[in-house]
Amino acid sequence: MKIKNELLFNKINELLNKLRPHFQIDGGNIEISEITHDNIVKLKWTGSCAKCERSETTFKYSVREYLLEEVPELKDVIEL
């Protein structure tokens, strides 16, 4: 994992921790794969969420929107 900005990583991880219980109920999770030098966050689904048909919609309308709203310095949030 390439993490250049530990403070940004911690802020994003703290926000993801608020969402994780919803994913973990169904045996899944989401993790930070990379934060690029230009503040693009790359996230990866794990467990049952990696195979779920609804993960793309959940990502787009829940995870991505939430992080971009809460962390204005982010340029984008990408699902791997």
What are 20-75's pLDDT values in tens digits? 999 999 899 999 999 998 999 999 999 999 998 999 999 999 999 999 999 999 99
pTM reported for the whole predicted model:
0.88
Which range of residues forms the domain containing residue 39? Answer: 2-79
Count of structural domains, the chain = 1
Q: Looking at beta carbons, which pairs linking 37-40 to residues 24 or more positions away fall under 8 Å?
A: 37/4, 38/75, 39/5, 39/8, 39/73, 39/74, 39/75, 40/74, 40/75, 40/76, 40/77, 40/78
Domain harbouring 29, CATH code: 3.30.300.130
